[in-house]
Structure formats: structure tokens, C-alpha cells
Amino acid sequence: MIRKLAKSILSYLAIIVGALMASFSVICILIPNDAIDYGTAGIAIIINKVTGFNLSLCVIILFLPFWIIGTWKLGKIFGIKAILGAVVYTIGLSVFEHIHVELNTEHFLAVAFGGAILGTGLALILRFGGCIDGSEILANLIVEIVEDKTGRNLSMSYILVFFNACVYLAAFILINKDAALLSLLVYIVATVLITNFTDHFEAIKQVTIITKSPDDIIKQIKEELNKTCTVLDSYGVISGENKTLICYVSYFELQKMREIISANKGSFSTVSTIDEILR
């Protein structure tokens, strides 16, 4: 019980630290060097630059609809972690606006450094079950809709790349070409860090569960994730006859899957990254 509580506290602290790192990078490094964030935060920065509307309010207003959808689809724990990250991120934006940090170096190096800090902060948030960017929730929702309609397991990568391409095109048109190109560098640097730290969060995840009591797990996966499983007979040298369950989920659904597995003691599970599912 104490170990579980400590792990939970650590996850919330990691999300807070990650959100502060992201807001520091955006305000103190990226924006002063004519670059912007990506996703819905990037849209908020564009609106701020074009209209002068308060940046923190833009960020939270754009994020709220996606947060509501994410909480509905992914559960209250995700919702709590997501809103915590978003609130700390917006507070950080307001606070760091009053802190003047100047990097006496080229735009290119400053933006690369800012992208690294941003990527590390976002990776911490994602790794511990949170989210501060509505584009990732939107991509997860589209993947789920496509799977329901066609049965195809689509990676979020394509959706996120298209979404951010639209953001940078808007920056190119509404701000200037330098902002768009420098922001593209931010996206590349941040994405590389996030991908490595979260083991390709945008990819499909295969969860393999070995258990002697599969019925409750299958029922919970169906009810809480609206997913099905492949069930195989298996045999352990020590444990004897078991059932092996194989289920495919998105990165954001992993948190709910962990809750289901932890509630069913005596199960053993592994998670692996799947690049593509052929049908």
C-alpha cells in the first residue's frame, strides 16, 4: 500500500516538473528566439502573436475540450493527471513571462536546446500518464474511431504529423518563415526525446497477460476499454496450465490497462511496441 502511494505521488511530481520544464522552454527560450511549441500549444502561441490575447488563457481554452473528451474516454485518473499538467503548464507560462533569461548564442542552438528541454518535460508527463497537448488526445480519439469503423489499428504518428504540419503552415503564413522553420526544428528535437523516453508513445502497444483467471480481466478490458482479446492456452513449468491474453491498445490506454491488471492479482504481463498490424 505504501509503495503504491509513493509511486502515485512520484507520478504526480514528475508531471509537475515536466509541465514546468515545458513552460520554461516555451517562454524563456523558444518564443524569444522566434520559435513556437507544437500541437494545440503551438496554435495558442500563434493566436497570441496575431491577436495579443493572453497566452495562458489561449492554452487552457484550447485544451479544455480535448481534456473533457480524454477524461470521458480514458478515465478519471488520466483526467486528473492531464488537468494537473495543463494547470501547472499555464501557471508556469504566466510566471516565466516575468523572468528574463537571455541565451547569448545563435537562434539555431538556442532553439535546439529549448526543444530538448521541452521534449524532456513532455516525455516526463507522457511517461507518467499525463498529457498537456490536445493534439495527442485528438489523435488517440481518431485512432479509436478508425478502429471501430474499419477494424484497422492506425498509428497516431500519421495524425500527429499532419496536425503539426498544419500548425507550422499557419505559422509560416501568419508569422514568418523563420518561425515556421525554427519551430520545425523544435518538433524534431522534442519528438526524438519523447519517442526514446516513452518507447514510441505514438505506436500501438501489445499487452500480453498470462493468468489463471482470465474471465474477470477479459470482462474489464471489454467494459472499460471496449477492447477484445486473443486467448491462448499456455503452460508454465512451475505454474502449470494458464491462459495467455493478447490485447492491442494505444499508449494512453496503457494506464487503464495497468489498473485492470493490478486489480487482478497473480497475473504476469508484458508490453511491447508494434510498428504495424497487417490484416
Residue 209 falls within a domain, yes or no? yes
How many domains is the chain partitioned into structurally? Answer: 2
Q: Are residues 79 and 117 in the same domain?
A: yes
Q: Are residues 32 and 127 in the same domain?
A: yes
Q: Are residues 160 and 218 in the same domain?
A: no
Q: Are residues 180 and 216 in the same domain?
A: no
What is the residue range of 220's domain?
Answer: 204-274
Q: Are residues 93 and 218 in the same domain?
A: no
Domain endpoint, select from 198, 216, 249: 198
Residue 263 falls within a domain, yes or no? yes
Edge-to-edge strands, sheet with 230-236: 230-236, 240-249, 204-211, 268-274
Which residue in 32, 160, 17 sits closest to 103, CA to CA?
32
What integer pLDDT is reported at residue 176 of this predicted model?
A: 84
Domain endpoint, select from 198, 219, 250: 198
Spatial separation of the C-alpha atoms in residues 218 and 228, rounded to whole Å: 7
Residue 225 falls within a domain, yes or no? yes
Q: Are residues 46 and 112 in the same domain?
A: yes
The helix or strand, by DSSP H or E, that contains position 209, with its residue range, turns out to be: strand 204-211
Residue 236 falls within a domain, yes or no? yes
Contact 15, 128 (CB under 8 A): yes
Q: Are residues 241 and 112 in the same domain?
A: no
Please give the model's pTM, rounded to 2 decimal places: 0.85
Q: Are residues 79 and 65 in the same domain?
A: yes
What integer pLDDT is reported at residue 275 of this predicted model?
A: 74
Ordered alpha helix ranges (H), the chain: 2-24, 39-51, 55-74, 76-96, 107-127, 134-150, 156-174, 177-198, 214-225, 254-262
Kindly report the CATH number assigned to the domain that includes residue 253. 3.30.70.120
Residue 279 falls within a domain, yes or no? no
What integer pLDDT is reported at residue 1 of this predicted model?
A: 66
Residue 106 falls within a domain, yes or no? yes
Residue 20 falls within a domain, yes or no? yes
Q: Are residues 118 and 10 in the same domain?
A: yes
Domain endpoint, select from 198, 218, 246: 198
Q: Are residues 7 and 135 in the same domain?
A: yes
Q: Are residues 35 and 79 in the same domain?
A: yes
Spatial separation of the C-alpha atoms in residues 101 and 257, rounded to whole Å: 42
Residues of the chain with pLDDT under 50: none
Tell me the three cell numbers of residue 180: 515556421
Q: Are residues 123 and 159 in the same domain?
A: yes
- Residue 128: how many CB atoms within 10 A of its CB? 22
Tell me the three cell numbers of residue 52: 495579443
Q: What is the dihedral of CA 123, 125, 126, 132, to 10 degrees?
A: -110
